[in-house]
Chains A and B, each alone.
Chain A
Amino acid sequence: MTTFPGNRPLIGLRVADFTNFWAGPMATTFLAHLGADVIKVESASRPDPVRFMQSLPGSPLWWERGAQYLGANLGKRGVAVDLKDPAGRAVARRLIAESDIVVENFSPGVMESFGLDEASIRDLRQDVILVRMPAFGLDGPWASRPGYAFTLDAISGMCDLSGFPDGEPLLTGTALDAIASFHAIAAVLAAIAHKRAMGEGISLEVAMSDVTAQLTAPLLIEASLTGVTPTRLGNRSACVAPQGVYMCLDRRIAVSVENDAQWDAMVRFLPELSDPAGLSTVVGRQKRHDELDDAIGSWCLNRTAAAAVDELRSVGVPASLVIDCVDVCDHPAIRARDRFVRIDHPVVGVIEYPLWGIAGADPEPLFERPAPTLGQHNAEVLAEIGFTEKQIAELTEAGVVAAQPRLQ
């Protein structure tokens, strides 16, 4: 178990966490990381779906083994309450009344179906901070549609711009979930500052669609000013050249020549190039990019990736290994800064989890506990919010609270 200092800035705040999948849970786990007491709310009939990803069905307690679930729910306590049952909704209401912050990322209408619309939540706790994370906003024609990073990737224009000119557009993975999550955290932290300064809770909406619009802004601005629609460039760039991914003896590297000075330094490695004077400007290099790719590719094929990167960096040219996302954890820069926390989990044991991209904070925010097993803290949390032992036993007997999923 990791030890942690006692002066983290959100200690004393309780979060009722109605989030699932990836963007929402990542946001609330950051709050736990800063000291908040985050209570994750699931139900036996609908556990967080992300529990079932990367986990083999049929293996023991397989819903407790999903890597995404474990990573995105560090530091929380968990209850499993059936929100379709009136008694379960009463538990949720009691929890909200005892919480400083409520975060949810259901499609609009779901919280309302539980009787937990904004007005009802504020009736339960007037100064509560409410942050909602819908995919397409709380209003508008797509409000009720479920959204995922993938569909946001598609409608935002990002997907269309990713890939090779002669190939299909490519999805950029789940990056949008995390980026949306970070924006939601910013909203929560700002709302906490607001409450401390003004004494009132506010309700904020951070829609994934609005966040993705921020990411594509540079390209949209360019398109709107020039009338020219940006297109897929593969690994090339509209403003630097040469740039690409090249195969060395053992693996691939990425090379990007940002300016003429870097090119002057690099060209010494490519003596066979004809008319080097014509390559002294980025425009000249853009025109002969195919030729440059061939020359750099040949140079790379005569050396290992590490040697090529070292040589290029030694003359000031940006170059790096192409690292698979599975292996980034072993990047020397990350290992050197020990950007990990190691926590024991009752089902999967000690796991090394990555920390956030912020270091040097004093104290370094850390996690007190691993991700909760389903309903792990039912009795403990219900008792804290005022339920008696007898009431908890009755709720358990009736299946309103549970610690095993009811899988269909």
Chain B
Amino acid sequence: MQTGLAELTVLVDADRIAALYAGKILADLGARVTRLEWGSATPIGDRPGTAVYRNFLQASWRSLALDPRQPASSEVLGRLLDHVDIVLIDEQSGTGPLGAVYSHEHRAAVVRVSDYGHAGAATPANEFTLQAEGGVMTTHDGGVAGPVGTRVEIGEFTAGITTALAALVGALRLQVGMPAPVADVSVLESLWSLMPYPSVNHQIEGSIPFMNPFRVVPSIEPAADGLVCIVALSPPQWRSLVQMSGDERLADPRFAMPPGRLENRAEVEKYLREYTTAHTVDELIELGAQLGVPIARVARIDEVPDMAPYKARGVFTRLGDAIVPTNPFRIIGRERNLTIADSPQPGEGGASTLAEAGFSKAEIYQLQTAPVRA
């Protein structure tokens, strides 16, 4: 995407998905992103698609490979930090062999992402346990079976986009001559920021106690040939749904507001499902569209690229044999670039990164031919 971010240079010295996703977002917005690699290639996961996914995140990036055992590497990194605008690191890179370099004062805005924040707890955690601590499991409580995590790595994604925001704020500060500080992103706090209002709600006198509102409209209901999600958040939407069903029993005033529907969940569900199971998914979606009730098919992941709203808009493309999403940002009125480049080989594009950072041709040649390579 051609934006003013084309002038923004980003160095990523991190391996966790959050940092890579942040780099991808900045690249999608036009920044020039370079991956710092230490000695060898990017670690590759052992699940099918994991390596491809990491490649996808780093599409169109450049790579600079340095050997941490060589004394010159610290100097190279230090000079880079005085030139690039943004550096994304995770807790591991901040404490790695050259981690001390990041603690020195540099021009670059440094954004650090970690489980609990840089000054937070140093306890073992991962996506699953952070979802448990961050309240995510209870917002879609699995009923009698108990809390359940989501397969999407929502903690890493949320921390990733939050990291990108911190980087952009740093870039804006640099643009107007303000010093760019070290920003500290916590995965736990990022997860919490997805659902902050329950903690606000209980402080307000006279408010409806927070409840899990996602079980009785909005809810998942069976149709004759599949499952649908039905949304009736507002009173007009509920009235339209009642009208659509033609079932006077659902017009009972007890069901008019979500708390009443939750309290009488079994009854509401029975009446509603009598209606939904008598219709196909497509019929329900069409009727809902006519009456202003948002209804959608519950799709399998492999069905998604062929669904009308995605396909018609070119939301997905191919990277080799894999189907991947295109840039989530579009400049209105301009053609969308559907081509996604491969991620760089280790060191590919390193020379141009160094050249932009002010290294002379002779210095780059020396680094390329010496043990520290670009």
Contact = CB atoms under 8 A, between A and B. Distances in A.
A19 B151 CA distance: 30
A221 B52 contact: yes
Given A139-B312, A353-B196, A326 B205 contact: no
Interface in A147-188: 147-148, 150-164, 167-175, 178-179, 182-183, 185-187
A354 B193 contact: yes
B203 A243 contact: no
Interface stretch (A93-101, A226-234, A372-380, A396-404): A226-234
Interface string B110-134: 0000001111110111101111111
Interface residues of B, number: 144
Contact of A197 (B4, B129, B310): B4
A317 interface: yes
A114 interface: no
A173 B219 CA distance: 10
B278 interface: no
A339 interface: yes
A193 B175 contact: yes
B234 interface: yes
A221 B322 contact: yes
B340 to A, nearest CB: 11
A217 B220 contact: no
A329 interface: yes
Q: How large is the interface on A (under 10, 10 to 19, 20 to 34, 35 or more residues)?
A: 35 or more
A223 B121 contact: no
B182 interface: yes
Interface in A357-376: 357-362, 365
Interface stretch (B71-79, B87-95, B137-145, B353-361): B137-145
- Name the residue in B164, B229, B301, B332 with the highest tally of chain A Cβ atoms < 10 Å from its Cβ: B301
Interface string A127-160: 0001010001111111001111011111111111
Interface in B21-69: 21, 25, 29-30, 45-50, 52-53, 56
B183 A54 contact: no
B203 A352 contact: yes
Contacts of B149: 235, 254
B170 to A, nearest CB: 8
B219 to A, nearest CB: 7
A122 to B, nearest CB: 10
Contact of B299 (A140, A155, A211, A219): A155
A169 B158 CA distance: 22
Interface string A59-76: 100100111101110000
Interface stretch (B96-104, B247-255, B288-296, B343-351): B288-296
A171 B301 contact: no
Given A9-B172, A359-B183, A163 B161 contact: no
A70 to B, nearest CB: 6
B298 A169 contact: yes
Interface in A315-356: 316-329, 331-334, 336-337, 339, 348, 351-354, 356
Interface majority SS on A: helix, strand, loop or mixed? Answer: mixed
A17 B307 CA distance: 32
Contacts of A196: 4, 172, 175-176
Contacts of B324: 217, 220-221
B301 A230 contact: yes
A196 to B, nearest CB: 5
A238 B298 CA distance: 22
Interface stretch (A79-87, A199-207, A271-279): A199-207
A156 B303 CA distance: 9
A49 B234 contact: yes
Interface in B181-206: 181-206
B140 A218 contact: no
Given A213-B325, A238-B47, A239-B47, A142 B309 contact: yes
A224 interface: yes
A321 B49 CA distance: 31
Contact of B153 (A70, A218, A328): A218
Contacts of A160: 298-301
A94 B305 CA distance: 42
A221 B175 contact: no
A154 B299 contact: yes
Nearest to A356: B193
B162 interface: yes
A215 interface: yes
A235 B148 contact: yes
A59 B323 CA distance: 52
A55 B182 CA distance: 39
A317 B129 CA distance: 10
B169 A132 contact: no
9 contacts: A55-B207, A162-B140, A203-B331, A213-B316, A215-B152, A218-B152, A256-B129, A318-B125, A325-B198
Given A170-B140, A213-B304, A328-B192, 13 more contacts: A139-B312, A150-B296, A158-B152, A172-B150, A193-B168, A216-B152, A219-B151, A225-B322, A229-B302, A320-B129, A326-B198, A337-B120, A357-B158
Rank and list the top 3 A-B pairs by shortest CB-CB distance, nearest first.
A325-B135, A197-B4, A194-B4
